């Protein structure tokens, strides 16, 4: 194993750790908004979608400043890719909340189940697609 591959492995772990921390911040905002909207009697899938979009905006701000850093400013292609990957995550989140809710699972538990599925899918899209050249 050469020094370059070791350095690359270490950098990848720190990128994942920064992404995980950014996701936890965004998830906190997402979940607070989701729970507030449920309290206002918004349908669970809609509350999940609105919460996800709020968390997405926070995630973008954190991602471009602290996770996938580059000397260049984010490109329009990266913005579009980020939004499209968010669409995948949103579809996963709302779909699982809807399906699991229809099966009788409480909305908050359904959302908790959707989180890791959406997280891992979207991370892979962003790391290997959206920010691959960064």
Contact yes or no for 27/56 (Cβ under 8 A): no
Residue 130's pLDDT band, with cuts at 50, 70 and 90, is: confident
51 class by beta-carbon count within 10 Å (0-12 exposed, 13-18 middle, 19+ buried): buried
Predicted local distance difference test score (pLDDT) of residue 105: 94
Q: pLDDT at position 106, please?
A: 93
Query: For the chain, which residues make up each domain, given as ranges?
Result: 3-130
How does pLDDT run across 86-126, given as a tens digit for each residue? 899 889 988 998 899 999 999 889 988 988 999 899 889 98
What is the Cα–Cα distance from 35 to 51, expressed in whole angstroms? 8
Cβ distance 86 to 126 under 8 Å? Answer: no
């Amino acid at each position: 194993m050469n020094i370059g591959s070791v350095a690359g492995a270490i950098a990848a772990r720190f990128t994942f750790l920064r992404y995980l921390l950014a996701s936890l911040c965004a998830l906190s905002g997402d979940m607070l908004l989701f729970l507030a909207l449920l309290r206002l009697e918004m349908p669970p899938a809609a509350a999940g979608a609105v919460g996800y979009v709020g968390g997405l905006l926070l995630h973008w701000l954190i991602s471009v400043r602290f996770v996938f850093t580059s000397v260049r400013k984010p490109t329009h292609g990266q913005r579009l890719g980020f939004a499209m990957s968010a669409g995948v995550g949103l579809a996963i989140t709302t779909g699982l909340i809807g399906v699991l809710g229809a099966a009788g699972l409480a909305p908050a538990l359904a959302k908790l189940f959707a989180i890791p599925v959406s997280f891992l899918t979207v991370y892979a899209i962003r790391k290997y697609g959206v920010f691959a050249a960064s």
